């Protein structure tokens, strides 16, 4: 018998923040380590519409000692529906379910597709009571995955999926249409029908598992098991129950979550035997491991990327050069004034000039004292920009725009936040409202940024 499987469907505690309420008991590191210790051939992290745990998952995976092959997959459990269904729900809540569906990236390109899909879902997010709805539309999959198949596999998830619900309702015509549509989007080799372990032969999961198998056979789709992990061990079920019920409101926990833990291959086989014989289970395990074998890894790490105001959104400006008499004495200050610098950096220098005029020159302050402080700051901007291969000045221009938007929305921006108040640049661009120069050594710039403390972005 095959003694391992690849688990495509697992959550970590990061899902709690994404959902906005308690749901998962285990950390992403615990899921990966436990899967390895149990003898699984691999594990996929699939939060509830969110991919924010992927970097910490990769970092942990790369540093754990391994004496056998073990694969990490990065995915997402999305809420897949028609746009019309989502719009109806906004008018009349709970008209349609937000159907569960699993996406797993096979490579870096697939992860890019995951990010594009997740971005769309979050851009159309809306709140229904305590639940944050973030739907993915079928049209998103058709626009992003279908033209470039083979980088993402799709799987039908759990009892919360459209396919499971259609089967339990005996709506076979719609089942066939759903499966054929998904095959068309992903390609036959990239679409899997997924079942979960049944707790006995009386529950909905037992009924739907047999129907899922028949559907997979009829359409020629590969059939895989998963555990929809929400906690690590069977003995943790009671802790998980208390955790789920820690907020007000009714919530069924016993039936749905009784088998939602990370199972060893033997445990999973025992539950699957309610529905299938060992030969069938061996084939299911083999098909699941096929997914792990197809994962090529992910190149997601890069140096920090500073958001820039789109160039077509920059206002018309012209560098004033009112302070050119200090350029020779303070070359770091002059650095960003040059026409050789990119437009964003010249705009940044123009903003600084405007701040110097308004907050220093017009108030009769010692201009050279401020330019000397800016020379110190600009040197750090230049050195850190070179090492990070980015443009630190764009950070300040973007932050000043964000502060403007906060005020325009009628909200409040505090006078400062931590060490940011130690930056004269922040003051001149009105990111902060505290002038650090009169405070001298009480507010040294190195508290905010200094290449000798570490090459990093400001907070």
Region for residue 357 given its phi and psi (left: phi exceeds 0; alpha: psi -120 to 50; beta: otherwise):
alpha
pLDDT tens digits, 153-207: 999 999 999 999 999 999 999 999 999 999 999 999 999 999 999 999 999 999 9
Mean pLDDT confidence for 296-319: 92
pLDDT, mean over the chain: 94
Mean pLDDT confidence for 144-159: 98
pLDDT tens digits, 364-396: 999 999 999 999 999 999 999 999 999 999 999
Q: Report the CATH number of the 6-294 domain.
A: 3.20.20.140
Mean pLDDT confidence for 50-58: 97
**pLDDT band at 459, cuts 50/70/90?**
low
Mean pLDDT confidence for 270-286: 98
pLDDT tens digits, 61-115: 999 999 999 999 999 999 999 999 999 999 999 999 999 999 999 999 999 999 9
Separation between Cα atoms, residue 191 and residue 67, nearest integer Å: 31
Given this model, what pLDDT does residue 453 score?
Answer: 78
Given this model, what pLDDT does residue 251 score?
Answer: 56
Mean pLDDT confidence for 17-34: 93
Given this model, what pLDDT does residue 249 score?
Answer: 56
Q: Are 46 and 77 in contact (CB under 8 A)?
A: yes
Structure-model confidence comparison of residues 274 and 450, the more confident one: 274
Q: For 254, phi and psi rounded to 5 degrees? A: -70, -55
Q: Is the pLDDT of residue 455 over 90?
A: no
pLDDT tens digits, 234-275: 999 898 888 888 876 555 566 678 999 999 999 999 999 999
Residues contacting 84, CB < 8 A, separation 6+: none
Mean pLDDT confidence for 303-331: 93
Residues contacting 319, CB < 8 A, separation 6+: 337, 339, 346, 349, 350, 353
Given this model, what pLDDT does residue 109 score?
Answer: 98
Q: Using alpha carbons only, what angle is made at residue 90 by residues 85 and 96, rounded to the nearest 5 degrees? A: 35
Given this model, what pLDDT does residue 253 score?
Answer: 61
Q: Are 107 and 298 in contact (CB under 8 A)?
A: yes
Q: Where are the domains of the chain?
A: 6-294, 311-447
Which residue's entry shows tokens 């709506």?
171
Output the 3-class SS for the chain: CCCCCEECCECCCHHHHHHCCCCCCCCHHHHHHHHHHCCCCEEEECCECCCCCHHHHHHHHHHCCCCCCCEEEEEEEEEEECHHHHHHHHHCCCCCCCEEEEEEECCHHHHHHHHHHHHHHHHCCEEECCEEECCEEHHHHHHHCHHHCCCEEEECCCCCCHHHHHHHCCCHHHHHHHHHHHHHHHCHHHEEEEECCCCCCCCHHHHHHHHHHHHHHHHCCEEEECCCECECCHHHHHHHHHHHCCCCCCCCCHHHHCCCECCCHHHHHHHHCCCCCHHHHHHHHHHHHHHHHHCCCCCCCCCCCCCCCCHHHCCCCCCCCCCHHHCCCCHHHHHCCCCCCCHHHHHHHHHHHHHHHHHCHHHCCCHHHHHHHHHHHHHHHHHHHHHHCCCHHHHHHHHHHHHHHHHHCCCCCCCCCHHHHHCHHHHHCCCCCCCCHHHHHHCCHHHCCCCCCCCCCCC
């Amino acid at each position: 018998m095959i003694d391992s499987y690849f688990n495509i469907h697992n959550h970590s505690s990061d899902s709690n923040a994404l959902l906005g309420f308690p749901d998962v008991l285990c950390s992403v590191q615990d899921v990966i380590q436990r899967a390895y210790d149990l003898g699984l051939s691999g594990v996929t992290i699939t939060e509830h519409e969110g991919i924010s745990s992927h970097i910490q998952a990769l970092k942990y995976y790369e540093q754990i000692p391994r004496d056998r092959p073990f694969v990490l997959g990065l995915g997402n459990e999305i809420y897949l529906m028609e746009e019309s269904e989502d719009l109806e729900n906004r008018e009349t809540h709970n008209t349609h379910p937000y159907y569960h569906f699993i996406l797993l990236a096979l490579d870096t390109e697939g992860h890019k597709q995951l990010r594009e899909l997740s971005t769309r879902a979050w851009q159309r997010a809306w709140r229904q009571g305590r639940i944050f709805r973030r739907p993915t539309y079928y049209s998103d999959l058709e626009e992003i995955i279908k033209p470039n198949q083979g980088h993402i596999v799709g799987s039908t998830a759990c009892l919360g999926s459209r396919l499971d619900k259609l089967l339990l309702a005996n709506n076979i015509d719609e089942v066939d249409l759903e499966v054929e549509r998904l095959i068309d989007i992903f390609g036959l080799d990239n679409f899997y029908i997924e079942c979960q372990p049944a707790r006995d032969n009386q529950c909905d999961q037992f009924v739907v598992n047999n129907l899922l198998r028949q559907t997979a056979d009829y359409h020629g789709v590969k059939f895989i098991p998963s555990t929809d992990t929400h906690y690590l061990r069977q003995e943790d079920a009671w802790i998980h129950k208390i955790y789920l019920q820690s907020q007000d409101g009714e919530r069924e926990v016993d039936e749905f979550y009784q088998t939602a833990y990370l199972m060893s291959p033997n445990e999973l086989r025992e539950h699957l035997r309610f529905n299938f014989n060992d030969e069938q289970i061996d084939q299911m395990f083999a098909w699941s491991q096929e997914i792990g074998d197809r994962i090529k890894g992910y190149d997601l790490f890069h140096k920090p990327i500073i958001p820039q105001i789109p160039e077509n959104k920059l206002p018309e400006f012209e560098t004033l050069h009112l302070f050119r008499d200090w350029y020779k004495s303070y070359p770091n200050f002059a650095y960003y004034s040059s026409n050789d610098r990119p437009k964003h950096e010249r705009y940044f220098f123009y903003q600084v000039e405007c701040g110097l005029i308004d907050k220093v020159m017009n108030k009769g302050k010692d201009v050279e004292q401020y330019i000397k402080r800016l020379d110190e700051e600009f040197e750090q901007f230049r050195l850190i920009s070179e090492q990070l291969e980015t443009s630190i000045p764009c950070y300040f221009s973007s932050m000043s725009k964000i502060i403007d938007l906060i005020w325009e929305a009628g909200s409040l921006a505090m006078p400062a936040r931590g060490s940011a108040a130690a930056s004269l640049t922040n003051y001149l661009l009105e990111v902060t409202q505290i002038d650090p120069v009169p405070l001298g050594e009480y507010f040294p710039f190195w508290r905010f940024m200094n290449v000798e403390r570490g090459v990093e972005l400001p907070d």
